[in-house]
Structure 1
Amino acid sequence: MTNTILALIDGSAFSRPVLDLATWAATRNHAPVHLLHVLPPKSLPRVDLSGEIGLGARSTLLSQLSALDEQRASLAMLHGRALLDDAAAFLKAAGISRVTSQLRQGDLLESVAGQEAQAGLIVIGKRGQSADQARGHLGSNFDRIVRAAKLPVLMAPRQMREIRRATIAYDGSPSARRALERMIRLPAYRGLEIEIVRAGHGEDGEAPLAEAQAMLAQAGITATTRLLPGTPEEAILAHLQDSGSDFLIMGAYGHSRIRSLVVGSTTTAMLQKAQVPVLLVR
């Protein structure tokens, strides 16, 4: 599988953190970056032409609306291309030599799905252009991508900082194991201070931690473990803050029975409140 990083940009306040994360991942994994900006599908102007208005007037109005629609579409295309050009320039200035970009119009999920075969990771902002109106919530596009994407998804928070310490939330589930296996395969996580955590108590909680630690040790990666008191959501979020961790790695769905349709409630809650990048692996 290719290791190309698919970075989704939309011109929001989260576009810069997306580029910062893409730069980090591309540098440490020696990977190319493909930038994608998706414009919404074309839509016909919705105008109520009922009432007493002459045919000539209606035709003139429709013509004017059509021209306005075409002008808006043209400006959106120009704006999208400018966003991609600026993003590519940013990445190249940061030392990423292999950068490609694409401007598409249509459904976001379909556009991303068309790129998944050539990529190994999706980087997307936690929220989009309505970020200021949606503080504390996940953006609708982010939510759709996480639900549908087959690739690991790396969530960019609003503010980025240097990544030195990583926390792995490990519960022994298949998705958590796949997240661990991904860490082992890629060089990005080597050299970081890594701690594996789980909410629980007693031997039932310690066993998965020991398993994860042994898997990393076999790959030459040193990690510490910690069993956290409380519910997963509260315990892991508190740990991120108290430990100064810069990065969270976790399985996307835990033990949800409807994994293909919904993100687990614990996962969703942590994504909403986490202030660090989060790597989600299905």
Structure 2
Amino acid sequence: MTNVTACIDGSSASPAVCDYAAWASLRMEAPLNFLHVLDKSEYPAQSNLSGNIGLGSREALLEELADLDEKRGKLALEQGRLMLEAARERAIEDGVADPATRQRHGDLVETLTEMEEEIRLLVIGKQGRDGDSVGEHIGSHLENVVRIMHRPILVTTPLFQEPGRVMIAFDGSATTRKGVEMVASSPLFRGLPCHVVMVGAEDADTQAELNWAKETLEAAGFEAPATILPGEVESVLCEYRKEHDIDMLIMGAYGHSRIRQFLVGSTTTSVVRSANVPVLLLR
């Protein structure tokens, strides 16, 4: 059975990751799995220090440094285990019956690639372990995850707020059409108003695409206000979100243009970086 998988790293974003993952798990009636990956590049399983010590150093010093690295790795694994247990307890308090935990020592992207078939929704924090806000390139882990995953990815904000209304950034592309159909059929957003916003020039083609999205959502029982607005994508989406008290943004992990190329690093990155609400990225 596919599950909601939440990546826990001990950052200030982790509590919100837990809460959004629990919310999604309950709404979707899907199992919840918390994942902690100890980065092998930072905490190697075995250390080779022979090239790091100058000539004349004693063998005992090499052994001592190796022992320190081993202890550091063990402490980090234990810290991760405690974080997972805290996340599990928090999810149970949120109402999830039996959340699972999983810990790996390796690479986050490789681990998620291996697990992809069992993931229905991936939940990951917007901030890194250092607590800094999302930077110019989203953050290497998040950007790499978005590049390789073919599952919806919910990028959370540092504070949890249960969504009351959501918005789809729609451009008529196959990705965003799939997103409309996903929202229409998924229990995740059932009962919530779902706004549909297109950014660009209004003409017969864009109006027809917008009408399709609106009608698809309304046929599934959604209240679906829909509009086409001129301007620059990021600023238009931001202003609309503020004006209508949108709690979650849904968008494709592609540029909002007729060029169907992957644009993490431009439009997608800018919107994720500037949004102070969670963003659900679709592939």
Match of residue 147 from structure 1 = 147
- Separation in 1, partners of 2:121, 2:194: 21
Report the alpha carbon displacement of residue 50 of structure 1 after superposing the two structures with TM.
2.6
CA contact (8 A) 2:32 2:100 kept: yes
Report the alpha carbon displacement of residue 149 of structure 1 after superposing the two structures with TM.
0.7
Q: Is residue 29 from structure 1 mapped to residue 28 from structure 2 by the alignment? A: yes
Report the alpha carbon displacement of residue 49 of structure 1 after superposing the two structures with TM.
2.3
Which secondary structure state, in structure 2, belongs to the residue aligned with residue 209 of structure 1? helix
- Separation in 1, partners of 2:136, 2:114: 30
CA contact (8 A) 1:84 1:101 kept: yes
Which secondary structure state, in structure 2, belongs to the residue aligned with residue 35 of structure 1? strand
- Separation in 1, partners of 2:190, 2:73: 45
Percent of paired sites with the same residue: 37
- Separation in 1, partners of 2:182, 2:275: 21
| CA spacing shift, 1:215–1:25, aligned 2, 3 Å | same
Report the alpha carbon displacement of residue 257 of structure 1 after superposing the two structures with TM.
4.7
CA contact (8 A) 2:198 2:210 kept: yes
Residues 65-80 of structure 1 aligned to structure 2 (within 5 Å): 65-80=65-80
Report the alpha carbon displacement of residue 77 of structure 1 after superposing the two structures with TM.
1.0
Match of residue 39 from structure 2 = 40
How large is the RMSD of aligned CA atoms in angstroms? 1.8
Structure 1 residue identity aligned to 2:102 = Q
TM superposition score normalised by structure 2: 0.91
| CA spacing shift, 1:264–1:173, aligned 2, 3 Å | farther
Structure 1 residue identity aligned to 2:54 = S
Match of residue 206 from structure 2 = 205
Match of residue 14 from structure 1 = 13
Match of residue 63 from structure 1 = 63
Which secondary structure state, in structure 2, belongs to the residue aligned with residue 131 of structure 1? coil
Match of residue 184 from structure 2 = 184
- Separation in 1, partners of 2:196, 2:237: 10
Match of residue 90 from structure 2 = 90
CA contact (8 A) 2:4 2:25 kept: yes
CA contact (8 A) 1:37 1:102 kept: yes
Listed as ranges, the gaps of 5+ residues in structure 2 are none
Report the alpha carbon displacement of residue 162 of structure 1 after superposing the two structures with TM.
2.5
TM superposition score normalised by structure 1: 0.91
| CA spacing shift, 1:84–1:68, aligned 2, 3 Å | same
Which secondary structure state, in structure 2, belongs to the residue aligned with residue 172 of structure 1? coil
Match of residue 122 from structure 1 = 122
CA contact (8 A) 1:199 1:205 kept: no
| CA spacing shift, 1:133–1:177, aligned 2, 3 Å | closer
Report the alpha carbon displacement of residue 45 of structure 1 after superposing the two structures with TM.
5.4
Listed as ranges, the gaps of 5+ residues in structure 1 are none
Structure 1 residue identity aligned to 2:129 = Q
How many equivalent pairs are there?
Answer: 275
- Separation in 2, partners of 1:228, 1:63: 65
Q: Is residue 217 from structure 1 mapped to residue 221 from structure 2 by the alignment? A: no
